[in-house]
Amino acid sequence: MTRDYFDAIANYARSLITHIGLVGPSGAELSGLNYRRQPVTWTAVKDGQIAPTTDLRFAIPPRTTVAGWHGFSAATGGTDYGGEAVTPETFNGGGDYTLLAAGTGIVHRAVRTS
């Protein structure tokens, strides 16, 4: 497939994933207190890759471990498109977690399986 093909897929993904949420070690989205998915704006597509344009800050409930992020189609409900793991961080007393834009991207490219 050509780079134009993967750029087109990445560009479409920009319209599908409107919010980023955080997940715990089980893969379930966090919940409680002031936790909310954050709206995301994506960079322009480059070589099949997109990334958030800014860091995203989340309020984390007490006794919660952040283990990854997922892309969603809505602020609540919607479609969970999956995401990536992050280095787990536990918040015993709650706090804020910043998902860095620079380390949070989606790459669309061919993978050879044989």
For the chain, the domains span: 3-107
HSE-CB of 104 using CA atoms within 13 angstroms? 27
| pLDDT value at residue 106 | 87
pLDDT range class, residue 48, cuts 50, 70, 90: confident
| pLDDT value at residue 81 | 95
Average pLDDT over residues 35-48: 94
pLDDT range class, residue 46, cuts 50, 70, 90: confident
Say if residue 38's pLDDT is above 80: yes
What are the pLDDT digits (tens) for 55-114?
Answer: 999 999 999 999 999 999 999 999 999 999 999 999 999 999 999 998 898 887 766 566
The span from the CA of 96 to the CA of 44, in Å, is 28
* Beta bridge pairs of residue 29: 23
Spell out the alpha helix ranges (H) of the chain. Answer: 3-16
